[in-house]
Amino acid sequence: MQGGPPPADVFAAHPLAREADAGAVTSVLAALAGYLVREGRQPPPPGLPTLRDFQKAQGEVALDWLRRRMGSSP
C-alpha cells in the first residue's frame, strides 16, 4: 500500500506458505478483505480520524490480491 512489495510476494516468501492450503489462504484473504472494506466505510472513531482511510486503502490492496488469486485480474 505504501510502496512495499506486493503482499502475495511477501506471503510466498514465508516458509509456511509453501504448505498452506490454497483454498484456506483464499478464504482468509476474502474474510480479511471484506473486513477492511466494510470497516473502511464506517464513520471514523473519536481520536482516530485517519483510521478509516487506512482500512479502505488496505482493503483495496487485499481485494486486488484476492482478484489475482481468483484469476479475475491481470
Q: Residue 63: left if φ>0, alpha if ψ -120 to 50, beta else—which one?
A: alpha
- Residue from 16, 40, 32 nearest 69 by CA: 32
Confidence of residue 2 (pLDDT cuts 50, 70, 90): confident
29-69 pLDDT, tens digit per residue, is 999 999 999 999 999 999 999 999 999 999 999 999 999 99
Give the global pTM.
Answer: 0.87
- Model confidence at 74: pLDDT above 90: no
Buried b (16+ CB within 10 A) or exposed e, 39-66: ebeeeeeeeeeeebeebbebbebbbbbb
